[in-house]
Amino acid sequence: MSENDLHAHLLHLRETLRYHSYLYYVLASPTISDYEYDRLYQELLSIEREHPEWITPDSPSQRVGTEPSEKFEKVAHPAPILSLGNAFNFSDVEAWLERIAKVDERVLNTDFTLEPKLDGLSVVLHYRDGYFVQGATRGNGEIGEDITPNLRTIQSLPLKIPVQKPGEKKVTSKPPPYLVVRGEAFFFLDEFAKLNQRLEEAGEKTYVNPRNTASGTLRQLDPQLTATRPLAILIYQVVHAEGEVPQTQWETLEFLKAMGFPVPQASLHRSLPEIEPKLAIWAQKRSSLNFEIDGMVIKVNDHALFQDLGVVGKDPRGAVAYKFPAQEVSTVLLDIGVNVGRTGVLTPYAILDPVEIGGVTVRQATLHNFDYLVEKDIRIGDRVMLKRAGDVIPYVIGPVVEARTGSEKPFTPPAVCPSCGEPVENIEGEVAWYCINPSCPAQLVRTLEHFVSRGALDIVGLGIKIVEQLVDEGLVKDPADLYTLKRDDLMRLEGFAEKKADNLLESISASKDQPLSRFLTALGIRGVGEVMANDLTKVYKDLDQLSNTSLEDLVTIEGVGPNIAQAIVDWFSRKSNRKLLEKFKAAGFWPVAARDEISDHPQVLTGLVFVITGTLSVPRGEIKSLIEKYGGKVTGSVSKNTDYLLAGENAGSKLEKATDLGVKVLNEDDLKALVG
């Protein structure tokens, strides 16, 4: 390819990547797989490595990258960044309309938009000729702080507008030469929960609430750190523009959407009475949203009228915030319990006098960690404030000190594990306390729960109740024991009959066909979740390779920092873990990495469906990957869609079923012959 062609290809790649990340992050409806996206992204990186002179700030590779700054520079906003007056019920909203009607009676005959009031951090974004050039906090409304590098890490924030289909010549709407917009940055609640889970697993302090975390995250001096905390954004206002922009709020939202900005879900209404029932609907909807909203914003739709109405203090007359009642209540903290997690980490939780928040009765709430109790001076017997946001577990905000009677008692963290009674330890530099007893039953239950969970080995039918039974009965002392369970063992358990036992054994056995990445996730190594496990299996094809790797090799992998690398090396060097891996191998469970998308093997098995059963001369994972290498597919159970059953020694019910259905049965040699 000539240099010119290569450069044109690079530009096309960038457009393609921008478009697909728009489909993924803004519209939440991707049309290509993560794998395909990754391939395109890697291609972009490799061209940019060859030609660093071609890198421009709008490249998708430039979301993270700059060095930490010393301090934030000041940015003057092109127009005041206003706030909003509040209404706490519908009469307040009616009173607002009456008030502003005295200023300009046209409001009695105009339309309004209704938008959710996002509970995040207000930010101001500047675009020149369609390129994102600067972003700032609200600050005092006149001057904010320049947080451009941090804002660039927000995946749904377009670095170039309009976002359009790659190669599309017709520009739907040309961006104004200079456009300044305003929106709210926040955390999706599921992302916030995941972030806390990662921190907890790493023994670090968890965050208390999404709003403050969003604010702290955007005010980080190191954008690399910001990039590890996945923020989202919604844009709802044009603050300033050179060039033409719409004349109403409704059209503004349409315009912003057409430019590729993520916008809040809004509605247009001809009068206030039409809005009242909508408020009730949103109040209901609130708890099922994946982000926090603290109210609804009602805005005069017509911009000219909005301007004419003017401003009182910092609040424009043309809009009002209808605030939802806070999802906060007080109740008595009856006691403090301590949970033991999978990694042995001890976490305190509140046992509460049952209380209702937002239609849900709450009996327990998280207390984060022992430091939190000290920080907030939370004592047993205290009246405490509770908060619940979306579907996130409720948390204790703090004590109501004025309500103290003197009988409240400070909590002393346990010196021994509440489950096994062994002494607990604190690792230097971490806030968490750990139970380090490898055979602690509470940890084992959590370990197994994780091992069989959906994102890990996905063993259907093995719920928490059965896990507890298996541990209580001493049938399972580590996850590898699952693979040597016998029907008779299970029949001893309460509630088990032959059928249930067989089904469970079948689904345990089927899990042997899971790819290496899932097995790695299941092992529960600190810092190795689904994404990291996937990244690792791109480099390491089996556990032998991974267990013999070094810190130096690990840190060369993107996303693997020194802490995770150390955790991996430590895990594989521990004797108990090596023994565990030997047990898996002996049980015939030794998965290898899933087949690479591009295979240099002749695809002679394309379209053929295999099922594997019985004891084979090599681990099942190896046979599975062999079949896949040649284009075949391996499934867990025999059906009329199965083409071949590969049967080893002692093949049981699957062999019978295959014979019944007339499915061809192969041995290992037959398979080898088939692939030549």
For the CB of residue 316, give the shortest distance to ligand IVH in the complex, in Å: 5
Which residues make Cβ contacts (< 8 Å) with residue 290, sequence separation at least 6? 188, 189, 190, 390
The phi, psi pair for 465, rounded to 5°, reads -60, -50
For residue 382, give the nearest of 369, 357, 365 by alpha carbon. Answer: 365
Residue in 593, 590, 525 with CA at minimum distance from that of residue 560 = 525
Cβ neighbours of residue 631 closer than 8 Å, sequence gap 6 or more: 599, 601, 603, 604, 605, 606, 607, 608
Q: How far apart are CA 451 and CA 193, in angstroms?
A: 20
**Nearest-approach distance from CB 184 to ligand IVH, in angstroms:** 5
Which residue in the shown chain puts its C-beta closest to ligand IVH? 122
3-state secondary structure of 13: helix
Report the candidate in 38, 327, 60 with the shortest Cα–Cα distance to residue 189: 327
Looking at the Cβ atoms of 46 and 265, the one nearer to ligand IVH is 265
Residue 264 CB, nearest distance to ligand IVH (Å)? Answer: 5
Q: What are the start-end ranges of the H helices in 474-561?
A: 487-491, 498-510, 516-523, 530-539, 543-547, 551-555
Distance between CA atoms of residues 231 and 225, nearest Å = 12
Residue 115: which of 5, 258, 275 has the closest Cα? Answer: 275
Q: What's the rounded Cα separation, in Å, for the pair 564 and 554? A: 9
What are the residues whose beta carbons fall under 8 Å from the beta carbon of 6, sequence distance 6 or more?
A: 47, 51
Q: What are the C-alpha distances in Å from 565 to residues 137, 341, 455, 568, 569?
A: 35, 22, 22, 5, 6
Q: Is 81 exposed, middle or buried (0-12, 13-18, 19+ CB in 10 A)?
A: buried
At 60, give phi and psi (nearest 5°). -55, -20
In sequence order, what DSSP letters do the residues of 325-361 get, joined into one string?
PPSEEEEEEEEEEEEE-TTSBEEEEEEEEEEEETTEE
Annotated catalytic, 117? yes
Q: Which of 440, 454, 447, 437 is nearest to 480 (CA)?
A: 447
Residue 644, both tokens: 């071949």
Nearer to ligand IVH, 309 or 605 (CB): 309
Q: What are the counts of helices (DSSP H) followed by strands (DSSP E) for the chain? A: 24, 26
- Phi and psi dihedrals of 37, rounded to 5? -60, -45
Check: CB of residue 337 under 8 Å from CB of residue 367.
no
Q: Which of 71, 74, 102, 117 is catalytic?
A: 117
Interface residues with ligand IVH (CB under 6 A)? 82-84, 115, 117-118, 122, 184, 236-237, 264, 297, 316, 319, 321
Q: Which is nearer to ligand IVH, 15 or 115 (CB)?
A: 115
C-alpha torsion sign, points 186, 124, 235, 231:
negative
Closest approach of Cβ 77 to ligand IVH, in Å?
Answer: 12
Q: To the nearest whole angstrom, how small is the minimum distance from the Cβ of residue 267 to ligand IVH?
A: 12
Name the residues annotated as catalytic.
117
